[in-house]
Structure 1
Amino acid sequence: MPSLSESLLDNTAADGTAKAFADAEHDLDRREFLAAVSNLAAQLQRAPGVVGLLMPNGVTWAVAVIAAAAAGKTIVPLPTFFSAGQIAHIVADAGVELILIDGQTETEQALKGFATLVVKVDTEASSLPQPASDFGMIIYTSGSTGTPKGVRLGERQIAWSTSALAEASRATHADSYLSVLPLSLLLEMLAAIFVPIRVGGRTFFDRETADAIGCGAVRSLAGVFERHKPTSSVLLPQLLKIWVTELSANGQTAPASLRFVAVGGAPVPESIANRAALLGIPIHEGYGLSECCSVVALNRPGARVAGTVGQPLDGLDVIIEDGEIIVSGPSVTQGYLGKVDHFGPWRTGDLGRFDKAGNLIVLGRKDNLIITGYGRNVSPEWVETALLSDPRLALACVSGGSDQPLTAILIPAPAAESWFMTASETDLTGLVRDLTVTLPSYARPERAISVSLATARIEQLITDNGRVRRNAIATFLLARREQAA
């Protein structure tokens, strides 16, 4: 399996004038991209071993990560949507000694006192220094508590996952990828940078959309897809919903150029998936986690099975033990930063099962399982997927337990807040009843409340990248009940 540097060199030698990476400011062919990577890699050869990367999406990000990899560094992506406190924690926790920046990021104010290097995209001809034998990466996620935890990955895991994802998605040199998710997300890094380098494809980075997604403020996607007419992209379910709603409202369809749109991070409501297909969006649900280098299973082009996340990547061994998904293979993490090295299978903490054809069905988090007062087990993700079939909802969370009724917390999209924030509890409960009509009675929430997106952020009910914090929501509901008592 060739390294990323070898793939870059081989593809450049085959056709150096082919387009590689572009954004609103840069449009580099393979030869120019290789030169920019080579110049920065030469600078980084004498740099400290652990480098952070803090900058918005774009060509500069791609140059920085590939140059740092070629220089054999341990790379720590620093999400621009993290708070200053979270970034400071990561820098200290990972032992970051140098932070690569573009000189324009507002979050850089949090880096006073840290060594930084402003990355310039220098396309003057240069030869790539002898690539180091290995590089590493530490991926942080905000998590349910808000305290980031580092997942250690090496070149072996990343190179294998890149090749496996390229094969599963049928990526080729003819692909034009549109990048709209923050590049600090491992899946986006793989799909937008590493896979195109492996197969010789090209990528356009839409910084404005990625910035809006990072802070949970995106309201439109149809325009950017129509403008760039890509062949492939990766989305989160809530973004797919925004796109579907926008196309439906305007009587439009997705660009005919699209052949593959991966959707992951959470279940896709069946009604949204069906509407996407009718609008020409070729969605392919997948499943993964950072501890397994982002992708474990994926619906392949031409072989999508609705309601599943497809079959495991070729080369991974995925089994179900006591309901839990367990993964073995070359993409499994080396362990968490500061913890003992990990060897062997990875217990994901996710519940799942296989259908008769070997497609994986993810049921939810094991530690999220709710046991009702009648002793029935309810995976909240199951109920939340039904709730999120309403395109007006940005997020939803189901909370409860043996001594508390199942309660649906509804967080509407900004455009729909007016109705949700003025609706009575009877109206909200009626809506929830209609959305969950196909579920068994024990899984239907008995109560419903609405919370604005702004309040959810102020009360820290959601993470910086838009995931619900279940423990915080349970505490929030308890406080409301006590106030009402």
Structure 2
Amino acid sequence: MIPKEEFDRIPYLPTMGQFVDWFTKEYASMPALSDAVNTINYEELGHRVARRRAFIEGLGLPKGSHIAIFDRNSQDAIELFLAVTSAGYVAMNFPSALPEMAIVGSCMKFDIAAIFVREEFMPLTGKLQGVKVLPAASIAETEAPSAQIDPESPAAIFFTGGTTGQPKGAVLSHRALMRGNYNAVFKPGKVIGVHRYIAILPLSHVFGLIAGTMGCFYTGNLIYTCEDMKATIGKLPVLKPTVLVIVPGICDILSGLVKMYGPQFLGGSLRMIIAGAANVPPRLVDIFTKLGVEFCFGYGLTEGANLTSANANAVEKPTSIGKVYPGQETKVVDGELWIKGDNVFSGYYKDPEKTAAALTPDGWLRTGDLVHFDEEGFLYITGRIKNLIILANGENVSPETLEEPFYADPCVRDAMVKEDEFNGRQVIAIEILPFMPAFDGKPWEEVEAYMNALVKKVNATLPSTHQIVKVTVRTEDFKRTGSMKVSRI
């Protein structure tokens, strides 16, 4: 966590307008954004955001209108998000891989009034009707001040729900978004103006936006943009990041590159990896800990402005998602984690039924995650309610609990337990994706034999009703969500 004397400098600001105005002055001369060729400081960033606000104001849209950003993780995209929200409009980052008809459908579903588009993506917007389509590079010569904004008014809409169903639009108020940004200050390793980050995760994902970008502005650190993930990873020796905010899938890629090219591939300055959005296999913690890189992972969800808990004690408690951030209430109801606080979302856009299912009348968010706390207050996830397998005898089985021992094995990259059928009866099945570097070129028959033996070993620890009967060893990767989670659809 950031030292107390520095933390005292950082106020909790309830709106994006106040946030932009504050960091522009507080960190004026410090480097803010860079594409590895050109770098701008915080004062320059603030002026560019003000010029983009002036351009947006010139569109004549009513305050509160929804404005989409369809770009990669560029300087344009970051400035536009800051400008849209600080001008009193509602921002929505579209995933850069969104296909043409999904763009049309999303603009209709979320009442998009204008969309800023990267030049190469312009052909995908040809079928839009009633939406102002504008170049992402649009900027005015004059400046416009930040708007006076009600903290409870919407700031942004995020796509969510992609692992098990159709995406919804989670609405975060200014207060909720800013609580998420502020909670990022509590992450381990935070120091004012010292670190170099890379905005490598999609800005359309709340983890990438808050933990990987906006939270970094709160502590005056430098952020490298990332318009091409593969190219950016190849530049790590030059960029020399000190902190990486990534998902386990990228950790896997980096561990393989380190094995090929040596630790110097990481740039020689990396101090910490903050990983989230999916399970972090213990083997990854071990690999990077041996390289002198601290590992921090935690738990969050879009509906809770991303940051709910963090674990800076990954070596001693590798299966915990850490301790809950300040400013939240938590309780466990029938095994499910409920949270309440400024960070909780306002609801799903134009979906009162799903909103009512997620939020209680008195403001508690039902996370859908099954958890328990240990005696030291560390939080552990045991599964997702909607993933539960209901056995023929009526017993509920959490697939995540059964997957845990497989993730602990260094030869397993990913695993997914599910319900299936075998010889006309309901069974528990597993699909395993091997971590092939661990097998060092051994024949596939040996890989399959190892995995089948591992299933047998795990089954020996399980009750008869929980036995894994059907085993598939995958030769191809799982279908994944935008945040690289294994999709259960």
Normalised by the shorter chain, which TM-score bucket?
A: 0.7 to 0.9
**2:410 paired with 1:365:** no
- The answer for the alignment partner of 1:194 in structure 2 is 214
1:161-206: CA deviation from partner (whole Å, max 9, x where unpaired): 1112212343522222122111111111112332232222220022
Give how far 1:392 is off.
6.7
- TM value normalised by structure 2: 0.82
**2:261 paired with 1:239:** no
Q: Distance in 2 between matches of 1:80 and 1:384?
A: 31
Per mean C-alpha deviation after superposition, the further-off stretch among 258-267 and 316-325 is 258-267
8 A Cα contact 2:70 2:93, kept in partner:
yes
Q: Distance in 1 between matches of 2:262 and 2:446?
A: 32
Q: Which runs of structure 2 are paired with 1:38-187 in the superposition (5 Å)? A: 38-45=50-57, 46-48=60-62, 49-105=65-121, 108-109=124-125, 112-113=128-129, 114-120=131-137, 127-134=143-150, 135-141=154-160, 143-144=162-163, 147-169=166-188, 170-187=190-207
- The answer for the alignment partner of 2:336 in structure 1 is 324
**How many corresponding residue pairs?**
456
**2:55 paired with 1:23:** no
**2:460 paired with 1:427:** no
Matched to 1:47, the amino acid is L
Q: 1:409 aligns with which of 419, 431, 437?
A: 431
Q: 2:227 aligns with which of 186, 207, 211?
A: 207
8 A Cα contact 2:67 2:112, kept in partner:
yes
Give how far 1:145 is off.
5.0
Q: Which runs of structure 2 are paired with 1:30-41 in the superposition (5 Å)? A: 30-41=42-53
User: Percent same amino acid at aligned positions?
Assistant: 22
8 A Cα contact 1:32 1:123, kept in partner:
no
Quickly say closer, same or farther: Cα 1:291–1:132, change in 2 above 3 A: same
**2:248 paired with 1:248:** no
Q: Distance in 1 between matches of 2:460 and 2:291?
A: 25
- The answer for the alignment partner of 2:273 in structure 1 is 261
Matched to 1:448, the amino acid is V
Give how far 1:232 is off.
1.7
Matched to 2:225, the amino acid is F
- TM value normalised by structure 1: 0.83
Q: Which runs of structure 2 are paired with 1:304-343 in the superposition (5 Å)? A: 305-340=317-352, 342=359, 343=361
Give how far 1:239 is off.
1.8
Quickly say closer, same or farther: Cα 1:413–1:95, change in 2 above 3 A: farther
Q: Which runs of 5+ in 1 are unaligned?
A: 213-217, 473-485
Quickly say closer, same or farther: Cα 1:85–1:418, change in 2 above 3 A: farther
1:368-414: CA deviation from partner (whole Å, max 9, x where unpaired): 12244576643222333443456676543111269422222234679
Give how far 1:429 is off.
4.8
Q: Distance in 2 between matches of 1:282 and 1:365?
A: 28
8 A Cα contact 1:23 1:204, kept in partner:
yes
Give how far 1:277 is off.
1.1
Give how far 1:421 is off.
11
Matched to 1:405, the amino acid is V
Matched to 1:397, the amino acid is M
Matched to 1:65, the amino acid is F
Q: 1:270 aligns with which of 282, 306, 315?
A: 282
Give how far 1:360 is off.
0.5
CA RMSD of aligned residues (A): 3.4
Matched to 2:192, the amino acid is T
8 A Cα contact 2:238 2:267, kept in partner:
no
8 A Cα contact 1:18 1:29, kept in partner:
yes
Matched to 2:78, the amino acid is A
Q: Distance in 2 between matches of 1:99 and 1:272?
A: 39
Give how far 1:469 is off.
3.9
Q: Distance in 2 between matches of 1:291 and 1:357?
A: 26
- The answer for the alignment partner of 1:482 in structure 2 is none
- Find the residue that maps to 2:149 and give its secondary structure: coil
Q: 2:472 aligns with which of 440, 443, 449?
A: 449
Q: Distance in 2 between matches of 1:335 and 1:7?
A: 23
Matched to 1:92, the amino acid is M
- The answer for the alignment partner of 1:9 in structure 2 is 21
Quickly say closer, same or farther: Cα 1:306–1:110, change in 2 above 3 A: farther
Q: Which runs of 5+ in 2 are unaligned?
A: 1-11
